[in-house]
Amino acid sequence: MNSGADRYLHVRKYTEKIFKPLATEDYIAQPAAFVSPPKWNLGHTTWFFETFLLKVYAPGYRIFDPHFDFLFNSYYNNIGQRVMRGKRGDLTRPTVKEVYAYRKHVDEAILEILNSNELKEVSDILELGLHHEQQHQELFWTDLKYTFGINPLFPAYPGKLPFSENIKETAGKFLQVEENLHEIGYDGIGFCFDNELERHKVFLRDFEISDRLVTNGDYMDFIKDGAYSNFNLWHDEGWKWVNDHKINAPLHWHEQNGAWHEYTLKGLRKLDPALPVTHISFYEASAFAEWKGMRLPTEFEWEAAASRFDWGKRWEWTNSAYLPYPGFKKAPGAVGEYNGNVMVSQMVLRGASVATSPGHSRPTYRTFFHPWERWQFTGIRLAK
Amino acid sequence: MNSGADRYLHVRKYTEKIFKPLATEDYIAQPAAFVSPPKWNLGHTTWFFETFLLKVYAPGYRIFDPHFDFLFNSYYNNIGQRVMRGKRGDLTRPTVKEVYAYRKHVDEAILEILNSNELKEVSDILELGLHHEQQHQELFWTDLKYTFGINPLFPAYPGKLPFSENIKETAGKFLQVEENLHEIGYDGIGFCFDNELERHKVFLRDFEISDRLVTNGDYMDFIKDGAYSNFNLWHDEGWKWVNDHKINAPLHWHEQNGAWHEYTLKGLRKLDPALPVTHISFYEASAFAEWKGMRLPTEFEWEAAASRFDWGKRWEWTNSAYLPYPGFKKAPGAVGEYNGNVMVSQMVLRGASVATSPGHSRPTYRTFFHPWERWQFTGIRLAK
Amino acid sequence: MNSGADRYLHVRKYTEKIFKPLATEDYIAQPAAFVSPPKWNLGHTTWFFETFLLKVYAPGYRIFDPHFDFLFNSYYNNIGQRVMRGKRGDLTRPTVKEVYAYRKHVDEAILEILNSNELKEVSDILELGLHHEQQHQELFWTDLKYTFGINPLFPAYPGKLPFSENIKETAGKFLQVEENLHEIGYDGIGFCFDNELERHKVFLRDFEISDRLVTNGDYMDFIKDGAYSNFNLWHDEGWKWVNDHKINAPLHWHEQNGAWHEYTLKGLRKLDPALPVTHISFYEASAFAEWKGMRLPTEFEWEAAASRFDWGKRWEWTNSAYLPYPGFKKAPGAVGEYNGNVMVSQMVLRGASVATSPGHSRPTYRTFFHPWERWQFTGIRLAK
Amino acid sequence: MNSGADRYLHVRKYTEKIFKPLATEDYIAQPAAFVSPPKWNLGHTTWFFETFLLKVYAPGYRIFDPHFDFLFNSYYNNIGQRVMRGKRGDLTRPTVKEVYAYRKHVDEAILEILNSNELKEVSDILELGLHHEQQHQELFWTDLKYTFGINPLFPAYPGKLPFSENIKETAGKFLQVEENLHEIGYDGIGFCFDNELERHKVFLRDFEISDRLVTNGDYMDFIKDGAYSNFNLWHDEGWKWVNDHKINAPLHWHEQNGAWHEYTLKGLRKLDPALPVTHISFYEASAFAEWKGMRLPTEFEWEAAASRFDWGKRWEWTNSAYLPYPGFKKAPGAVGEYNGNVMVSQMVLRGASVATSPGHSRPTYRTFFHPWERWQFTGIRLAK
């Protein structure tokens, strides 16, 4: 078996390993439009390989079920129609068992083509598909945490967690970075998404950046100080968001008998002040920084300093909007819909989280969410 | 075993018989707020007996799980808080297996109390609970039909259907009913819901009422004649509903290759013009009658004539609003929320449908839905 | 001048008399979709005569401005497109002066035709137009009260009011009405709207009905007793309405320095407990009756007893849905849209209010609003 | 009279000059939440001087009407409550005449203080207030154009326009700008808003920028090529916007008898292909650039090249999000709400438009709108 096949099996089996402990019921529900049911996630990652690799490069490939194009397409308009994003949880069929059969069918066809085809296009799309699947592995955790977290029974993940939500921050300091013209973007080593291109120069003034994340303890002080009712700390639209949704704490925080608790994938537990705060929106991250008399770093500051601090526990909000780098080119066709079409109204996050799959992070990686989204393992690093 | 226990087991086992063929996945989804997931339906009917019978009359009864009050309450404000109606599909836990265990636990306690307690209050609440469960048996079918009917795979019910959707209408005539003072409401024989009380006199003029239901064929003529784009036929709010939701046919109708098809619990099939039309809103029923130069009967006309025609295939829209009869009294406490609190903004339907459970229909039975609702087996009978 | 012309001028001049004291600014705003700006009201009543009378019966009539069909049509689909109801306040042009010129133009043409044409059709449509205009005279007052009542300056009507909002109720009693077959509907004397037809028999049991309206004082007791937070008193959808809109008192009530005040067309003033309560929804009227252990009368009970009590201060909510009488026939064409198309989802009110124009009330008159609407001078009469 | 007073009178009188030709009716309507009624605009600019200057620096100043704080505050949370933005058109009182009296009252007090007080704080806030008023002069034109443009009568501005919407573009070329470290932001000469600070270095690669704006003719080609139904050209959220709102042309374009017309402040006229396209959203600007195989410039590119082309006809969308410059500091208190609180989810526009008041533009000026907003005189300049 060649190394492409090895890597393919490694990533695909990891997906099944983390999904398998679920009860069948857990695969179905979609309690919010931004959550994908695990069944859909499982089918969609498979559909990606079938659509972009097998249908194009595997002559004689037998399509598993023509309906699956409609069911498991995410947002690729070029591929045709699809189930609306918020409607994925409405589908009880195909069954979970049938989706696993679909995976098996596609896996066999992929392994066959990898043994016979050495085209660069094939290995490129394979690599893209595997990184895409790793993104969905992380989404699996945050979607599941959301689904379990709104259930009054607060169920724990029924298997062994491959990561810990309990890695504490230790007292830190601000690192000094001097004014300079920095190189930003993909450095040519390994895989990158198109949004990390092209590498380019950015001039940055002197700045300071914290070597640790903001903790639950810090954030409790912010709450106690009345931050959620002090409009001076908030963006106008953040203030509206706080009031419209009656927000008074991070997602997954619950006050019980006068003490804050936090839902984690191991169940509900008393909030530990030493852990990094998580599940906060960009609005909350900004308001916290404002309250501290500091600010969030830009994505360029973050990247320029990333080698000097530990990161990887939380995705960190930056004060940079998600926009193309100089020279960015949208890939032609459906694959080009991946990043280019969403470069408006979102903010960049940098780093990685405890739920990021092994090997799926690097200093130039850019992820992005709307400023109100907070079901990811988001966090705050301060700059000044 | 006494006869109350017999009857209890009969109804409860029928529920399990019709639910059991489902895949686990089918128990979870809630594709619209008005649909209840089968798992919820299963738990809720059990919760009714636990709450109104066991907690009150069975000293020493051990509550299965205190969370279930929150999870399986429907709208009884007197009982406490509850999951919002549209959020029932968000809950993957408890599992289906656990809900069956809950049923078993409650069934055992009920049988025990029936063997030891002969209070009238107990047999009354038992009877109410069983009629309530029969209503949910019918909802099971229409909810499931909705869930399967919006799935692009159009799955069939995976078991043997205890009824047929294929009972044709035959050519009919209009029955004459002469002016008279009619007795309306419960006649004192067998069970009734509170909304069938009190029996009272209604003066009705001469009228004519059809002895058959409007058919798919009739309804296709209505469509072909452009009825969905002729505002003169519609109530103002019906016209708005047609346009806002781009309605152009009954629910579950699909045009494929130029021919109308209908989703049934046996799957998608070509529309049969001889079958009674179903899954139409009050707005559509009224517009159809207007188009025919006729009208819908009132609920009183329907009841006065019911002995003279066959009914029971479709729930029939009347032109009566759901309002209390003279002398109506809301039962005290939570049980009183059952009917009294919804007597506004709904229209009465009379009759029964193919999916109505055996023994759960009578000429004085009143059901009611909002004028836009159409996921029940609704139908049209004309009057003039 | 003939008597039709007399009557025409009388009604038309009354409209101008009550509109004229307004500032130009007051003619424009539409603070809620159900409110019509006075300018629109002024144009619409004129448009009615132009459209249904002049265009049809006055050969050679010169249309004032073809755009006005679009601007001043209310809901007559048969006439063509129209400005959406909620968008009437967006139109600053034509100016108020131009709309008065439009009235003058139409008035002259009407007077001319009345002097030369004695067709029954003309006098019928004239009569309908005048009753229609009288309805809009009352709407003028309630729309204006709404517009001024939401303005923090609480302006008073700038002219002399032709009615008083200050007619107190006096202590009353319940009238007994005996079981009987009553004649309901238009008795053949004078004008009626189509919805008062046909006269028909309704069988009513014994009932009692109050000879006075519920007062502000009674209603304050209801509020003090916590009625707005006791779901047992409310219809389910009323309870949702109370909570969604944070309702805790009638419209136009304002708590200032611990005391209830009421906005009236003479400005804000301390609430007088002896006045009849007004600006309450059907939900509130029903909840009040429930709290009293009584009920609202049906529209038939009201009509059967109307000769025995004083009425005319408030429009009185009944527990009857707005539905056609036996033998009701929708008039053909656009005029038929007047009543027939809205006979669903509304409740009937009976009586009249202080703002009803002289001569525009009778015991068989039926008006109707949605159960949540309360910007009219609505009131409560109890039955049991 | 000192020069501050001169300048104050000059700006204030210009406001009145452009408002005065309106009919009273035109001052009231608010056909969309983003439009301010001219009456509100007139009061608000006056309130700014009363609140930030007179109340603070003019001892003994008599407040004109304490309600006006509530009525004419825009979004300054620090000042207290205010009429919701979308509700400004609901207020018929105070009358227009009263608002002019308010202006007179404030003008007199300002002139008095300017003659007696030479504090730098006073002249700073005066200058800010005048620039603020100039922004509202431009908003006056675009708000009015919106209000007249949705009126089926398409009224023209009833006075003499101080600018022309008819300045044609001439055939152009792309200017080359070489890679460099550019100075961006306020250069220290004259007034600037806080968002132009601090001046800082930005590294830019080689780029080309057009010396003319995209024209109506260019844009008609884009439409004819089916751009509004080709999702590949659009941001995802732009594509949703196009479909949700059925957008198929710029705002104020109307197809009549097969030819495009454009509403202008002089009325509706046939579209002139040589004029720069205007009233397009950021989504449309981006899609147009994508269709051309080019892109929008960043705000830094625009500023770096601004000395080399003519600008000032249209506000030009850039592909830069509205974010703070390095070293940006929010002013303390209410004035700080001006810019700092809205730095999320908006895109930067550069340049100026025909409706910009004389003296109110400069190369470092940054304005910003949400990507879907298009009631301003927006335009497109291409880069590559």
pLDDT tens sequence across C297-314: 999 999 999 999 999 999
With residue D241 as reference, give the H or E element that holds it.
helix D236-244
Kindly determine whether residue C371 and residue B344, on different chains, have CB atoms separated by under 8 Å.
yes
pLDDT for position D82: 75
Write the CB contacts of C54 (distance below 8 Å, at least 6 apart in sequence): C61, C106, C109, C110, C113
Measured between CA atoms, the residue of chain B closest to residue C183 is B203
pLDDT value of position C92: 97
Interface of B with C (CB under 8 A): 75, 77-78, 181, 200-203, 205, 231-232, 234-239, 282-283, 286, 319-321, 323-324, 326-327, 337, 341-345, 347, 371
The pLDDT score that the predictor gives to residue C333 is 67
Of B205, B239, B347, which is closest to C200 when you measure between CB atoms?
Answer: B205
For residues A293-322, average pLDDT = 97
Question: Which residue, D212, D369, D355, is CA-closest to D283?
Answer: D369
- Chain C neighbours (≥3 Cβ pairs under 8 A) are B, D
Among all residues of chain B, which has the CA nearest to that of A36?
B90
- At residue D253, the pLDDT reads 97
Q: Which residue reads 């002559």 in tokens?
A: A59
Task: Mean pLDDT check: name the lowest of A10-19, B195-204, B313-322, D116-125.
Answer: D116-125
Asked whether the beta carbons of residue A236 and residue D345 sit closer than 8 angstroms, the reply is: no
Cβ within 8 Å, pair A237-D282: no
**A319, A341, A347 ranked by CB distance to D236: nearest:** A341
Residue of B nearest to A156 (CA): B93
* The pLDDT value given to residue C246: 96
Considering only CB atoms, which chain D residues are within 8 Å of A235?
341-344
Best to test chain B binding among A81, A93, A102 (most B CBs inside 10 Å): A93
By CA distance, what is A344's nearest residue in D?
D235
**Among all residues of chain A, which has the CA nearest to that of B88?**
A31
Chains B and A touch (3+ CB pairs under 8 A): yes
For D199-209, what is each residue's pLDDT tens digit?
999 999 999 99
Predicted pLDDT at C2? 67
What integer pLDDT is reported at residue B85 of this predicted model? 87
Residue of C nearest to D39 (CA): C25
Among all residues of chain A, which has the CA nearest to that of D345? A345
Q: How many CB pairs under 8 A join B and C?
A: 74
Using an 8 Å CB-CB cutoff, list chain A residues near D321: 321, 323
Give the distance, in angstroms, between the CA of residue B21 and the centroid of all CA atoms in the same chain: 21
pLDDT exceeding 90 applies to what percent of chain C? Answer: 89
Q: Which residues of C touch B82 (CB under 8 A)?
A: none
The answer to whether D318 and D185 are in contact (CB under 8 A) is: no
| pLDDT tens column, D307-355 | 999 999 999 999 999 999 999 988 766 666 667 789 999 999 999 999 9
Beta strands in D285-358 (DSSP E): 315-321, 347-351
**Sequence-ordered list of residues with C-beta below 8 angstroms from that of B112, at least 6 positions apart, any chain:** B58
* Nearest-angstrom CA–CA distance, A61 and A117: 14
What pLDDT does residue A7 have? Answer: 95
Instruction: Let me know: does A345 contact D237? Beta carbons within 8 Å.
Output: yes
Spell out which residues of chain D touch residue C91, defining contact as CB-CB under 8 Å.
Answer: 29, 151
**C to D CB pairs, distance under 8 Å:** 85
What is the chain B residue with the closest CA to A88?
B31
Closest CB to D150: pick one of C90, C96, C150: C90
pLDDT the model gives residue D337: 63
- Residue with the two structure tokens 């899954």: B279
Do D and A make contact via 3 or more CB pairs under 8 A? The reply is: yes
pLDDT confidence tier of residue D73, bands split at 50, 70 and 90: confident
Q: What is the pLDDT of residue B336?
A: 64
Residue A340: band (very low, low, confident or very high) from pLDDT cuts 50, 70, 90? confident
| Beta pairing partners, C324 | none
Contact state of B147 with A87 under an 8 Å Cβ cutoff:
no
Q: Inspect the interface and report whether the beta carbons of A147 and B90 lie closer than 8 Å.
A: yes
pTM for the predicted model, two decimal places: 0.96
- Inter-residue contact D318 to D349 (CB < 8 Å): yes
Q: CB–CB of A201 and D203 under 8 A?
A: yes
pLDDT given at position B249? 98
Q: A94–B153: do the CB atoms touch at under 8 Å?
A: yes
Which residue of A319, A327, A342 is in closest CB contact with D235?
Answer: A342
Which among A205, A337, A344 has CB closest to D326?
A: A205
Per-residue burial over D223-235, b = 16 or more CB atoms within 10 Å of its CB, e = otherwise: eeeebbeebbbbb
Task: Write the residue in D24, D152, D155 that is nearest to C25 by C-beta.
Answer: D24
Q: What pLDDT sits at residue A336? A: 64
Question: In chain B, which residues have their Cβ closer than 8 Å to the Cβ of A155?
Answer: 92-93
Which residues from chain D sit within 8 angstroms of residue A282, using beta carbons? 344
Among B123, B127, B124, which Cα is nearest to B115's?
B123
Higher pLDDT, A330 or D293: D293
Whole-number pLDDT of residue C328: 94
Residue B157 C-alpha, separation from nearest chain C C-alpha, in angstroms: 34
Mutate to test the interface with C, among B85, B291, B294, B344 (most CBs of C within 10 A): B344
User: Cα distance from A235 to chain D (closest Cα, Å)?
Assistant: 4
Separation of alpha carbons B361 and B376, rounded Å: 15
For chain C, give the mean pLDDT: 94
**Nearest CA of chain B to the CA of A234: how many Å?**
31
Task: Give the closest of C28, C31, C152 to D67, CB-based.
Answer: C152
pLDDT per residue as tens digits for the range C321-358? 999 999 998 877 666 666 778 999 999 999 999 999 99
How far is the C-alpha of D19 from the C-alpha of D141, rounded, in Å?
9
- C-beta atoms of D327 and A234 within 8 A: no
ipTM for the complex?
A: 0.96
Residue of C nearest to B321 (CA): C321
> What pLDDT, on the 0 to 100 scale, is given for residue D189?
92
Judged against a pLDDT cut of 60, whether residue D1 lies above it is answered with: no
Q: Pick from B36, B276, B127, B205: which is nearest to C324 by CA?
A: B205
Q: Is the pLDDT of residue C91 over 80?
A: yes
Angle, helices B120-149 vs B38-49, to 10°: value is 170
B87 vs D336: CA distance, rounded Å: 42
In this prediction, residues C85-101 reach a mean pLDDT of: 95
Q: Is C236 exposed, middle or buried (CB count within 10 Å of its CB: 0-12, 13-18, 19+)? A: middle
pLDDT band with cut points at 50, 70 and 90 for residue C83: confident
Touching B: which chains, 3+ CB pairs < 8 A?
Answer: A, C
Measure the CA–CA gap between A94 and A102, rounded to whole angstroms.
10
Measure CB to CB from residue C235 to each of B232, B343, B347 and give the nearest one.
B343
Q: Which chain D residue has the Cα nearest residue A296?
A: D324
C289 min Cα distance to partner chain B (Å):
13
Residues of A in contact with B26 (CB under 8 A): 92-93
ω before A332 within 30° of 0 (cis)? no
C56 versus A337: which is more confidently predicted?
Answer: C56
| D contacts of C153 (beta carbons < 8 Å) | 67, 93-94
C-alpha to C-alpha distance for B52 and B69, rounded to whole angstroms: 12
Residue numbers in chain B where pLDDT is lower than 50: none
